[in-house]
Amino acid sequence: MRPSCYDSIRHTSGDSCWFFGDLGQSEVLRFGVHFLPMGSALINLAYLLAAVLFILGLKGLSHPRTAVRGNQLGALGMLIAIVATLLDRQIISYELVILGLVVGALVGAIMAIRVQMTAMPQMVALLNGFGGAASALVAGASLIESSLPEVAPPVPLVQLTAATAASGIIGAVTFWGSLVAFAKLQGLVSDNPFQVGFLHYLNGLLLLIAIGVGVYLTLNPSAIGAYWVLLAIASVVGLLLVTPIGGADMPVVIALLNSYSGLAAAATGFVLNNNSLIITGSLVGASGIILTTIMCRAMNRSLRNVLFGVWVPAEKGPKAEEVYAGKVKATSPEEVAMLLEGARYVVIVPGYGMAVSQAQHAVRDLMQILEAQGMRVDFAIHPVAGRMPGHMNVLLAEADVPYDHLKEMDEINSLFEQVDVAIVIGANDVVNPLARTDPNSPIAGMSILDVDKARSVVVIKRSLSPGFAGIPNPLFAADNTLMLFADARQGVQEIISALKAK
């Protein structure tokens, strides 16, 4: 039986527990801090501090004003957790850790610098996928290590194998599901949704088999081959789960996979007996599922519908010709400039088109010019404008638009009746009044920005093409609406030139 530090307390000195009997150097190191009452208490205290910092960090991230500080607190928590883990597990090779840090930092920095803002969702998908894969591999490595006769598992074998199985299943589903999400958003494979009735049953069956293999592994810890079988089956589940879902629904799927990656990490925390990993993984799991719910609610869709339904634009509902015929009024930048000259309160409503044309800097310039002329300018932010949560906030922050100019939907909707000119820039579904008026519409019941209540509305987009939901928008044909058909950035720049020419 393996001796414990407590048995040979006479050999301890200070904070360290030194075991020289018949154990090798690495064994001594392994037991050095891990089994010490003092050492492990300190390590757990460090983990607790890290967890508190993570929670404070998340709280800070909930508001733009405190987000930078929140990020710093989270980073500090991560530093403390990493240092504590390195001290706790002295058996690891520091050379490998440093090599991993250097390679990871290099790849991460290059990706972060090169990625386009519009490609951020697929970058997040990749990061989630790697997190899931790392959890599954680390848990697998621990399983293999624990099968060696000279190594004592860090936790009871039943806990280790059960948690490894959970980490393997969730991690593999996350990895392969995220790769499919990445490929769809990057245009590497078709992003069209499709429905194959039996696919979900097949997937359910495969998931049950994977769980069955996990139970077998738990009962037979030495049957390590079962872990690879489990990984293979769960990988197919991940592929089949995401492949039928359309590219437009990928942001919701990515938020869900983010949650899964946290659960996989938490399971690996149980494998390694690492409290920090358990807490961090649970926080990621919980925040991912909260984000998924918020997105589904804002899009007025259920998660079941996103995962298992195929969303095609409604056949019912008004056709584009009926909505637009003879009613759309095109305008020019000069006419918009004239309209703005008489305004006191202007609200800018950004949408996906602003992201596509990268118009945020031009939009900021327009705001500054209008403010210099004594107008009040606010931005109306819909929670699902664009293609990822916080899409508009990120773009406007990048252009240094002050936070206090960004108004959330509930706040700005009560103000639209006082707005002289609402300028809609590349937004469509989030300002579509059909959500309020047509119960058959795919966006029926979705909360929208009540732009149509403003005195005048200017919409900048290239054509009358529909947005994400694929339906016409009566706002474009409303009496108080003028359409400026242009690329968002070009249109805004032309309005600025017209304002300056006055």
Rounded to 5°, the CA angle 364-480-396 comes to 15
Pick the binder of ligand NAP from 130, 462, 470, 480 (CB under 6 A).
462
Residue 372 buriedness (CB in 10 A; 0-12 / 13-18 / 19+):
exposed
394 contacts 119 by C-beta, under 8 angstroms: no
Asked if residue 389 binds ligand NAP (CB under 6 A), the reply is yes
Asked if residue 430 binds ligand NAP (CB under 6 A), the reply is yes
Asked if residue 441 binds ligand NAP (CB under 6 A), the reply is no
Pick the binder of ligand NAP from 162, 165, 237, 295 (CB under 6 A).
295
Asked if residue 423 binds ligand NAP (CB under 6 A), the reply is no
Round to whole Å and give the CA distance between 447 and 414.
Answer: 13
Which residues are known catalytic residues? Answer: 429
Name the closest residue to ligand NAP (Cβ): 467
Asked if residue 468 binds ligand NAP (CB under 6 A), the reply is yes
Asked if residue 288 binds ligand NAP (CB under 6 A), the reply is no
* Shortest distance (Å) from residue 358 CB to ligand NAP: 9
Q: Is residue 192 helix, strand or coil?
A: coil
Handedness of CA 384, 390, 393, 399 (dihedral sign): negative
Pick the binder of ligand NAP from 164, 261, 428, 493 (CB under 6 A).
428
For residues 235 to 264, the per-residue mask of contacts with ligand NAP, x marking binding by CB under 6 A and - elsewhere, is -------------x--xx------------
Round to whole Å and give the CA distance between 440 and 379.
Answer: 30
Give me 70's structure tokens. Answer: 């929140």
Stretch that binds ligand NAP, among 143-151, 281-289, 317-325, 424-432 (CB under 6 A): 424-432
Asked if residue 487 binds ligand NAP (CB under 6 A), the reply is yes
Asked if residue 472 binds ligand NAP (CB under 6 A), the reply is no
Size of the site for ligand NAP (CB under 6 A): 32
Give the distance, in angstroms, between the CA of residue 263 and the centroid of all CA atoms in the same chain: 15
Provide the terminal-to-terminal Cα distance of the chain, rounded to the nearest Å: 90
Phi and psi (nearest 5°) for 129? -60, -45
Stretch that binds ligand NAP, among 13-21, 62-70, 402-410, 455-463 (CB under 6 A): 455-463
Q: Which amino acid is at 276?
A: S
Q: Is residue 135 helix, strand or coil?
A: helix
* Shortest distance (Å) from residue 302 CB to ligand NAP: 13
Q: Per CB under 6 A, which of residues 329..358 are in contact with ligand NAP? A: 351-353, 356-357
Asked if residue 364 binds ligand NAP (CB under 6 A), the reply is no
Long-range Cβ pairs for the range 384-387 (8 Å, 24+): 384/295, 384/298, 384/299, 384/430, 385/350, 385/351, 385/352, 385/427, 385/430, 386/350, 386/351, 386/352, 386/354, 386/355, 387/118, 387/121, 387/248, 387/251, 387/352, 387/355, 387/468
For residues 199 to 238, the per-residue mask of contacts with ligand NAP, x marking binding by CB under 6 A and - elsewhere, is ----------------------------------------
Pick the binder of ligand NAP from 467, 477, 481, 482 (CB under 6 A).
467
Q: Enumerate binding residues for ligand NAP (CB under 6 A).
A: 248, 251-252, 295, 299, 351-353, 356-357, 384-389, 391, 426-430, 461-463, 465-469, 487-488
